[in-house]
């Protein structure tokens, strides 16, 4: 019961293939109470998928690009919980044009940066009133140290996301709040399939010393659950790689 008594906010549950879904499932199995977020036309989908969890959680509306949603998040969450011990950020979006690096218009790039990077800070600020006793913020990234094929401006957004994590760690540490990321290898989620030529990542396991299963989100989810627990009390600003060891290999 790694999360016994913990209360968590989990974003990004869309399908049961989502890493966030597995984080919510494992968190409940480890004793946590979970609240999910969703918005717009995906809201009912999230409510339906939530019924596949061990305990059906509440779902609150949250569009991280909507300032009103952010400003009222804590108040609306208080209808379901009196505080938060942890927040999972599993949010990312880029318009199709952002996957063409040289020709992407600023409007598409700006959307990618706001939703996929700036939102980490936005979500943290929105949840802060419920985290007066400290806690853990965990985000999901894809290693932004290199330029990936096809990832283009989403890769730039992930680099900004990783920098945002470090600044959050700096500014929230005095309040006992840790901020860390899990750099997961490619997982064949609904979001991943929207990346042009995602199938190029199919050979990931050939270079990963431990191998890699594109259909298995549980390893990354377990890392998130560990970071949301009290077992990393002095770790913040960190990026934990869960990619089969791919990031450490050369040619």
Which residues participate in the annotated binding site?
12, 18-19, 63-64, 91, 94, 158, 187-191
Q: Is the Cα dihedral 20, 46, 14, 56 positive or negative?
A: positive
| Listed residue (52, 90, 60) closest to 187, CA to CA | 90
Instruction: Decide: 38 and 61 in contact? Cβ < 8 Å.
Output: yes
- Binding site as annotated, residues for substrate: 94
User: 29-62 burial string, b = 16+ CB within 10 Å, else e?
Assistant: ebebbbbbbbbeeebeebbebbeebeeebbbbeb
Residues comprising the binding site for NAD(+)? Answer: 12, 18-19, 63-64, 91, 158, 187-191
Residue 164 contacts residue 117 (beta carbons within 8 Å): yes
CA 56 – CA 74 distance, rounded (Å): 21
Q: Could you tell me the two tokens for 28?
A: 């409940």
At residue 229, the 3 state secondary structure works out as coil
């Amino acid at each position: 019961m790694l999360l016994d008594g913990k209360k968590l906010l989990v974003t990004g549950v869309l399908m049961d293939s989502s890493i966030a879904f597995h984080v919510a499932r494992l968190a409940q199995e480890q004793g946590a109470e979970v609240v999910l977020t969703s918005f717009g036309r995906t809201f009912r989908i999230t409510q339906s998928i939530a019924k596949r969890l061990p305990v059906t959680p509440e779902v609150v509306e949250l569009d991280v690009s909507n300032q009103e949603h952010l400003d009222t998040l804590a108040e609306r969450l208080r209808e379901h919980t009196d505080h938060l011990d942890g927040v999972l950020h599993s949010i990312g979006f880029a318009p199709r044009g952002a996957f063409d690096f040289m020709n992407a218009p600023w409007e598409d790039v700006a959307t990618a940066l706001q939703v996929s990077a700036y939102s980490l800070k936005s979500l943290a600020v929105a949840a802060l009133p419920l985290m007066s006793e400290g806690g853990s913020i965990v985000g999901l990234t894809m290693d932004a140290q290199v330029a990936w094929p096809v990832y283009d401006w989403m890769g730039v957004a992930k680099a900004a996301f990783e920098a945002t994590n470090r600044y959050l760690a700096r500014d929230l540490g005095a309040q006992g709040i840790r901020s860390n990321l899990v750099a997961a290898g490619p997982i064949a989620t609904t979001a991943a399939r929207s990346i042009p030529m995602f199938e190029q990542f199919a050979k990931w396991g050939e270079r990963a010393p431990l191998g890699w299963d594109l259909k298995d989100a549980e390893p990354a989810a377990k890392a998130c659950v560990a970071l949301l627990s009290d077992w990393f009390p002095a770790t913040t600003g960190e990026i934990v790689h869960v990619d089969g060891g791919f990031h450490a290999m050369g040619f």
